[in-house]
Amino acid sequence: GENVEQHPSTLSVQEGDSAVIKCTYSDSASNYFPWYKQELGKRPQLIIDIRSNVGEKKDQRIAVTLNKTAKHFSLHITETQPEDSAVYFCAATTPNHRAGTALIFGKGTTLSVSS
């Protein structure tokens, strides 16, 4: 089945710096790659996603890139702010997963932005 690896597990940056989180996946049939943000004590919420027919997607200060050949995708946050501090999860889904199209998550990255 699908396996998603996420790095780094923790990331500390200064306010205004950029942050990059990387994920790799194992199933070449995967076709959807979301990123979820989970603030302390809250539920995970989708912040951006990308499909396998697209190489890059941007939404204001966040962007996601996908390299299908290498089977990896990355989250880029520019001009980080203290409110970006949270746990970020990448995920992948494949129609052929034995559980249907459930999302398989990475282990998460704790991002800390200090002012």
Partner 1 sequence: DVKVTQSSRYLVKRTGEKVFLECVQDMDHENMFWYRQDPGLGLRLIYFSYDVKMKEKGDIPEGYSVSREKKERFSLILESASTNQTSMYLCASRTGLAGMYEQYFGPGTRLTVT
Interface residue list for partner 1 (CB under 8 A): 1, 6, 9, 32, 34, 42-46, 49, 89, 93, 98-108
Q: Do 35 and 75 contact (CB within 8 A), yes or no? A: yes
Measured from the CB atom, the residue of 52 and 78 that comes closer to partner 1 is 52
DSSP per residue, 58-75: EETTEEEEEETTTTEEEE
Q: How far apart are CA 108 and CA 58, in angstroms?
A: 21
CB of 75 to partner 1, least distance (A): 15
CB of 39 to partner 1, least distance (A): 12
Bridge partners for 72 per DSSP: 24, 67
CB of 79 to partner 1, least distance (A): 26
Measured from the CB atom, the residue of 19 and 36 that comes closer to partner 1 is 36
Q: Do 26 and 2 contact (CB within 8 A), yes or no? A: yes
Measured from the CB atom, the residue of 61 and 107 that comes closer to partner 1 is 107
